[in-house]
Structures are given as C-alpha cells and as structure tokens.
Amino acid sequence: MTLLEVTGLSKSYGKQRSVDNISFVIEAGQCVALLGPNGAGKTTTLRMLAGLLPPSAGQISFNGSLPGTDYRKELGYLPQSPAMYRWMSGLEYVVFAAKLSGIPSREAAKVSAAALERVGLAAAGRRRIGGYSGGMKQRLGLAQALVHRPKLLLLDEPVSALDPIGRREVMELLREIRGETTVIFSTHVLHDAEEICDNVILMNQGTIAVQGELSELRQQYSLPVIRLSVETGSAAAGWLESLALKPFIQASQISGGKAVFNVADVALARRAILQEAVGLNIPLLHFEAGSSTLEDLFMKVVGS
C-alpha cells in the first residue's frame, strides 16, 4: 500500500534550486534512507514533507488523500537538533507533545510514560531537559515523535551529532522502530543507511541520483573488479602499469602500489594476474576479486 507519493517536488530560493523536481513513492512499512552529502537537499525535502516549508512546485499525497490535505496528525518529526524547552522535564515535554497531537490528558500521561520507557528515559523523565546529554535529547526527540503512533516518521540526521555511544543507542532504537511504522531518515553516512534501511534515495545537488531497494542496487551497480596491492618501492609498480594494458582489463586506477581494475571476466583475469605474479615473483600484499560496492557508487555520485 502506498503511504506517500511525491511528484515533481521542488524548492527554490531565488535562483538557487535547493530541491529540483524529485519524485518518489514510499510504501507503508518501509524504512527509507534519504542519503546524500551535505547540501544535497535532504533537510529541505524532509521539511517540505513535514509541512514546515511550502514547496515551490510539486505535490505530496499522503495515504491516498488529495495533495494539500493536512496530514500532520499522522506525522512524527525529529529535526536535526531538536530544540525542546530546557525548563520542562522530559515527561512534561512528551505529555505536551502528545496532547498537541490530540490525545486526551489521561491517555496522554499513559502513552507518554510508555514512550519514555521505550526510549530508555523512564528514570530521567522527571529531570529537566536542560540537564540532558546529546544522546538523551535525541532519544527524547524520538519519544515525542513517536508518542502519538504516527503513520510516518521523519528523522533528519538522527545520529550525526552524537558521540559513538549516543549513536549506538539511537541506532538500536531505530532498528526496533522501523518494524512498527514507516520511517524516512536522512543521513550522509552510507553505513548508517545500510545498517537500518532496505531502501535508499540517493540525493545530490537537489536531485535524486539513484533510488531503490538496497539489495537490487547492489546487484545493479556491481561491476566485476579486482583490487590488489604490492610492496612499494619494488619493480612491482611497473608491473601494475603493464597489467593495465592487458586486453582483459577495461579500466584501471593505480596509485602508490595499489590498483583497482575493472574487468570483463573475473575468473579469467584472476587466473592471468596470479600466474604472472608468481612467474615474475611479485611481492603481493593484497588480492581481492569481486564487485564494486555501494560505497563506490556513493562516492561516484557525490564526486560527479
């Protein structure tokens, strides 16, 4: 079932196009990573989805309703650095958020306590937010975004400002949460996306470079490659250069005793290269035959 359908969404500031005509569909229950370098337009996209920024063009249809329908009731949103009232206690804040989402007082107290328990802040609930650590604030941010059981959860760089411990805590939570509701979260770290999500939308300079299921993308973008490295300062460097001219090698990148070769046939290339290495007594340090990774794809998209 389609939960969110975005068509031709754009946002421009003057002449600058921050988000440029992007379209995508998100199914209910999916966990989608909005991936891209800083300045790719991820935050702007999320803020348009959250109704905080009016789009310059394009449409957002939520749960099959007409574009323009207010769906904020079904939305949970966590901005990059959530500014919650420092003078409130954690519990007070979540209750406040729950009531504003339309939950009656008595129930709000109950679901808020549960939400705090959920993010591991039950004991800290009575303390003032001003005294919370970065990780605690982010978890409280998740609690306020989840307390009304939204159909769609939008998280803007939920872990990038955290130290490794805080990051781990929040990632664990996200792993649990993605089973309960539809999640879109933005990140500039491919590893975070791979860890939690099955789907990615890779953005660069306001447009979508690639989107789809991670496993499919991996297949689609896997190119047979051979990586090898040799001891530097030996005659082996010249051998690497000579390999690059072989007919079974389509493209090569060589630097400082390391080489990456794109090949047509991995098995054939592997045999030929290893035979030569043995014959010439080349001091090999590392040899790997396989496919290019998403990391390469990410770097290629970001670099171009």
> CB–CB of 298/190 below 8 Å?
yes
If one counts every other C-beta atom within 10 angstroms of the C-beta of residue 11, the result is: 22
75 bridge partner residues = 152
Q: Which of 161, 208, 143 is nearest to 9 (CA)?
A: 208
Q: Which residue's CB is nearer to other proteins, number 69 or number 253?
A: 69
Q: Which residue's CB is nearer to other proteins, number 36 or number 82?
A: 82
- How many residues does this entry show for the chain? 304
Q: Which residue's CB is nearer to other proteins, number 8 or number 130?
A: 130
How many angstroms separate the CA atoms of 98 and 303, rounded?
43
Helix (H, G, I), strand (E, B) or coil at 83: coil
Report which residue type is found at 174: L
> CB–CB of 30/199 below 8 Å?
yes
The answer to whether 55 contacts other proteins (rule: CB under 8 A) is: no
Which of residues 3, 33, 34, 75 is near other proteins by CB under 8 A? 75
Bin 300: left if φ > 0, else alpha if -120 < ψ < 50, else beta.
alpha
Which of residues 144, 182, 187, 199 is near other proteins by CB under 8 A? 144
How many angstroms separate the CA atoms of 22 and 17, rounded?
12
Q: Which residue's CB is nearer to other proteins, number 23 or number 81?
A: 81
Q: Which helix (H) or strand (E) holds 131?
A: none
The piece of 58-66, 79-87, 185-193, 206-214 that touches other proteins (CB under 8 A) is 79-87
Q: Which residue's CB is nearer to other proteins, number 162 or number 294?
A: 162
The answer to whether 46 contacts other proteins (rule: CB under 8 A) is: no
Which of residues 96, 239, 248, 287 is near other proteins by CB under 8 A? 96
Which of residues 97, 153, 177, 225 is near other proteins by CB under 8 A? 97
The CB-of-206 to other proteins minimum distance in angstroms stands at: 14
The piece of 26-34, 96-104, 163-171, 276-284 that touches other proteins (CB under 8 A) is 96-104
The CB-of-73 to other proteins minimum distance in angstroms stands at: 4
The CB-of-296 to other proteins minimum distance in angstroms stands at: 33
> CB–CB of 250/292 below 8 Å?
no
Helix (H, G, I), strand (E, B) or coil at 116: helix
Helix (H, G, I), strand (E, B) or coil at 253: strand
Match 């933005």 to its residue by tokens.
Answer: 186
Q: Which residue's CB is nearer to other proteins, number 48 or number 240?
A: 48
The piece of 29-37, 69-77, 214-222, 285-293 that touches other proteins (CB under 8 A) is 69-77
Binding site for other proteins (CB under 8 A): 13, 50-54, 70, 72-73, 75, 77, 79, 81-88, 92, 96-97, 99-102, 104, 130, 144
